[in-house]
Structure 1
Amino acid sequence: MKQVQLISRSLRQINNLYKKMLTKELSAFELDHHFEALLMLAIQERPITQNQLAELLQVDKSRVVSIISYLEQRKLIYIERNPADRREHYIHLSPDAVSSIPHIERSVEKINEVAEFGIEHEKLVTFFEVSEMIQQNLLKQAI
């Protein structure tokens, strides 16, 4: 009998190992895997809404509410109501979060170096191209 291989299994294993290493590397920050949200907020040119953050992180809105609550409790973000639309809230990085971004970025670079060790640049480019193609193929079918 032929064994069926799930692409998602390999990707999930990579994801779990990668996040585990980053969490260990960033344990002093107590971010509980939310470093990606901080990095995403840091690269924005202006404050963004909860809905925009959900889209950027590719998670549902209820998950973003949980992430925001966690980061707000740790004083890494603060929320500001949009004066033009009181239903809309902007998310800002706190000064503490801003000062921690360079350390988070260095940690990500360090883990990336470990993950990419011994892999030729061309193969990495191919990996990312193929990953993007798989994502696009699946998105087409999901619509």
Structure 2
Amino acid sequence: MLNVETMLRYFNEIRRIYAVKLNERMDDFFSPNEINILILLSNNKHINTSSDLRVMLGVSKGLVSRSIDALLKKGLIVCRSDERDKRIQRIHLTKKAAPVIEHINHEVQKINDEVLKDVSEADIAHLEITMKKILQCFKDKEENHEN
């Protein structure tokens, strides 16, 4: 029987294979985790600390730290102290990251086209509706628990 745990296992396996394929297309210049960090930083303006990245990627603090160090050395990100809390380091993409992000997005689109070519638009739309319902259910439970 399909349940949330099974769905998460499917998504984790898809994420793993997807990361490997994307890494191959990036000529192994970046680790899969570095690519994921660049994607998250470019697509989610509210994700900009190592803690945010750890939670979103579900990886260790050490792996995030190593990846951030590598991206810093490549000049693709900078870290700046938070204006309100100097203990917090905010991570920002540099201008040098723009062509890399563009290349990643191009490769992502090619992978999407290949993987989804035999999946109907109706199936994709239905999956999105289902995922939104599940997410909303979790959010509703979270809000009810807080009250």
TM-score (norm 1): 0.72
Rate the CA distance shift 1:35–1:81 in 2: closer, same or farther, 3 A: same
| RMSD, aligned α-carbons | 3.2
The answer to which structure has the higher strand fraction is 1
**Partner residue of 1:22?**
22
User: Could you list the runs of 5+ residues in structure 1 that have no partner in the other structure?
Assistant: none
Partners in 1 of 2:18 and 2:135 — Cα distance?
19
Larger deviation: 61-70 or 95-104?
61-70
TM-score norm. by structure 2 comes to: 0.70
Q: Which residue matches 2:96? A: 96
Tell me the residue number matched to 2:131.
Answer: 131
Shift of 1:67: 3.2
Identity among equivalent positions (%) equals: 22
Q: Secondary structure of 2:91's match?
A: strand
Q: What is the aligned residue count?
A: 138
Higher RCO, 1 or 2 (CA under 8 Å, sep at least 6)?
Answer: 1
The residue number in structure 2 matching 1:59 is 58
1:43-69 per-residue CA deviation (whole Å, 9 max, x = no partner) reads: 4558933334445x2536725334323
- Does structure 2 retain, via aligned residues, the 8 Å contact 1:50–1:61? no
Alignment of 1:39-58 (within 5 A): 39-44=39-44, 48-55=48-55, 57-58=56-57
Determine the structure 2 residue equivalent to 1:69. Answer: 69
2:41–2:93 Cα contact (<8 Å) kept:
yes
Give the C-alpha shift of residue 124 in structure 1. Answer: 0.7
